[in-house]
Structure 1
Amino acid sequence: MTPPAIGHVSDTARWVAIYRALESARPDALFRDELAAALAGEQGSALTQSGMLPRGARDHWPTVVRTRLVDDVILGALGQGCDRVINLAAGLDTRPFRLDLPAEIRWYEADLPDLVTYKESRLGGRQARCERIAVPLDITDAAATTAFLAEARAGARRPLVITEGLLPYLQAHQVLILSEQLRAAGTRWWVMDHWSPAMLRMVNLTMGRELGSARWTFAAPLGFFPGWSAEIARSTFLAAARWGRSPLPLRATTLLPEITPGPRLDRSRLWCGAVRLAPRDLRGRI
């Protein structure tokens, strides 16, 4: 029996880097990531060649579309006065190098020590487009995360926190702790990829063998996050159809309207996308 492609949750970072590299090679790429292949490294290349990537990896559209959607949400917040970016569980993300960012923005990245060390070794001293600070951190260590957020947020008036690709691997109580930590730290915007519970079950059903120890454990309606309200919600399925990335049977979703944040979105069973939350008392205020 073929072993799972994932031995530890941090290995998923290489999957994502491989997908970004594949997308960047397309003539109609949704983004260009010149560092993705180098960051995926030899292990990433081995995963590709061995066929141990998840089924449908050649059509890596959900991850690619999610990447572009989160890009757009971040850039939108920067246009609204975001003055600090904090990326939790940043993995092998390269946004500080590839997005058009103001040079004065301070961008914090945090992830497990081994992954931070690996990433820095693969970057080879390349300079980001803004001030980038990489910090080793176990997000599940509540005390260490609180201390990190206080340091990373210091001096910022409108900080934005990214948890792309993080929450599905946590337990519900850990997500609630993180939610409260972000509010207490004065986070102005919280950007995440959001999955309905039905989508979580579908992912584990179709990709459970490949995910191995990194099977997903958390999904919830947007109303799960106490003290937060959704300002923006962009569907992966709709964007993929508009951008020509989804399989042919799903292309008809271009005819559907985007669901605005609210009860209808919470009731939607098969929804995933990029979401921007704001503290409830600040919703709608710049």
Structure 2
Amino acid sequence: MTPPAIGHVSDTARWVAVYRALESERPDALFHDELAAVLAGEQGTTLAASGMLPRGARDHWPTVVRTRLIDDLILDALNRGCDRVINLAAGLDTRPFRLELPGEIRWYEADLPDSVAYKRARLAGRQARCERIARPVDITDGVATAEFLAEACEGARAPLVITEGVLPYLEAHQVRILSDQLRADGMHWWVMDHWSPAMLRMVNLTMGRELGSARWTFASTLDFFRGWSVETARSTFRAAADWNRSPLPLRVTALLPEIAPGPRLERSLLWCGAVRLTPRDREGRA
């Protein structure tokens, strides 16, 4: 039996780096990430060449569309007064190096010690566009996460936190604890990729063998996030159709209107996309 391509959830960062590198080669690329191939490394190259990546990896549209949508949400928040960015379980993300960022912004990253060390070694000598601080933190450790967030938020008026590609690998109670903690620490915005319960089942059915121990365990409707309101939402399927990244049968979704933030969106069992949340007690202040 062919072993799974993923031995640990942190290995998924190599996949994502491969996808970003492949997207960057396209003449119509949604973003350009010259460091993606560097971070994917030999393991990522081997995965791409061996056929162990999920089917359709050459145009793995959900991942590349997610990347661009979250880019846009971050840049928009920076234009609206965000003065601190905090990326939890940052993986091999390169936004501090590739986005047009104000030089005075502090960008904090947290991830497991091995991931932080690998990334530091691979990016040695590379200069970020802003001040970047990386800390070894397991975000499932509530005490360590609280200490990290206290440091990362110190002195910030409008901090933004990112949880890209991480929530599906947590348990529901862990997501709830994290959600409550982010509100208590005064986050002004929370940017995430949101996957519906239907997508959890589909991903595990179609990619479960490749995911191995990294099978998805969490998905929800958006109303799971108590105390938060959806400020901005962009559908993955609609954006993929607009940008000619989705399979042909799904291109018809470009004709469908976006669902506006509100009860219909927050209770949807099918909607998937990139969202920016704001605490309910801060609505209208962003």
Question: Could you tell me which residue of structure 1 aligns to residue 142 of structure 2?
Answer: 142
Is the 1:197–1:269 contact (alpha carbons within 8 Å) kept by the matching residues of 2? yes
Q: TM-score if structure 2 supplies the norm length?
A: 0.99
Matched, 1:49 2:64: no
Distance in 2 of aligned mates of 1:104 and 1:203 = 39
Q: How does 1:181-192 map to 2 (within 5 A)?
A: 181-192=181-192
Unaligned runs of 5+ in 1: none
What letter corresponds to residue 2 of structure 1 in structure 2?
A: T
Q: How does 1:117-136 map to 2 (within 5 A)?
A: 117-136=117-136
Question: Could you tell me which residue of structure 2 aligns to residue 205 of structure 1?
Answer: 205
Distance in 1 of aligned mates of 2:270 and 2:188 = 28
Question: Could you tell me which residue of structure 1 aligns to residue 79 of structure 2?
Answer: 79
Cα root mean square deviation, aligned:
0.8
Q: Secondary structure at the match of 2:78?
A: helix
Deviation at residue 266 of structure 1 after TM alignment = 3.3
Distance in 1 of aligned mates of 2:256 and 2:75 = 25
Question: 1:5-27: CA deviations, max 9, x gaps?
Answer: 00000000000000000000001
Distance in 2 of aligned mates of 1:240 and 1:136 = 34
Question: Could you tell me which residue of structure 2 aligns to residue 172 of structure 1?
Answer: 172
Matched, 1:221 2:221: yes
Question: 1:170-206: CA deviations, max 9, x gaps?
Answer: 0000001101110111100000000111111111111
Question: Could you tell me which residue of structure 1 aligns to residue 30 of structure 2?
Answer: 30
Distance in 1 of aligned mates of 2:184 and 2:105 = 22
Distance in 2 of aligned mates of 1:266 and 1:282 = 18
Instruction: Tell me the matched-pair count.
Output: 286
Question: Could you tell me which residue of structure 2 aligns to residue 156 of structure 1?
Answer: 156
Q: Secondary structure at the match of 2:192?
A: strand
Question: Could you tell me which residue of structure 1 aligns to residue 94 of structure 2?
Answer: 94
Q: Secondary structure at the match of 2:4?
A: coil
Q: TM-score if structure 1 supplies the norm length?
A: 0.99
Question: Could you tell me which residue of structure 2 aligns to residue 244 of structure 1?
Answer: 244
Distance in 2 of aligned mates of 1:59 and 1:86 = 29
What letter corresponds to residue 283 of structure 2 in structure 1?
A: R
Report the more deviating stretch, 127-136 or 256-265.
256-265
Is the 1:231–1:284 contact (alpha carbons within 8 Å) kept by the matching residues of 2? no
Deviation at residue 125 of structure 1 after TM alignment = 2.1
Distance in 1 of aligned mates of 2:180 and 2:78 = 23
Q: Secondary structure at the match of 1:198?
A: helix
Is the 2:222–2:267 contact (alpha carbons within 8 Å) kept by the matching residues of 1? no
Distance in 2 of aligned mates of 1:59 and 1:268 = 27
Q: Secondary structure at the match of 1:162?
A: strand
Question: Could you tell me which residue of structure 1 aligns to residue 4 of structure 2?
Answer: 4
Is the 2:231–2:278 contact (alpha carbons within 8 Å) kept by the matching residues of 1? yes
Deviation at residue 260 of structure 1 after TM alignment = 1.3
Distance in 2 of aligned mates of 1:108 and 1:85 = 6
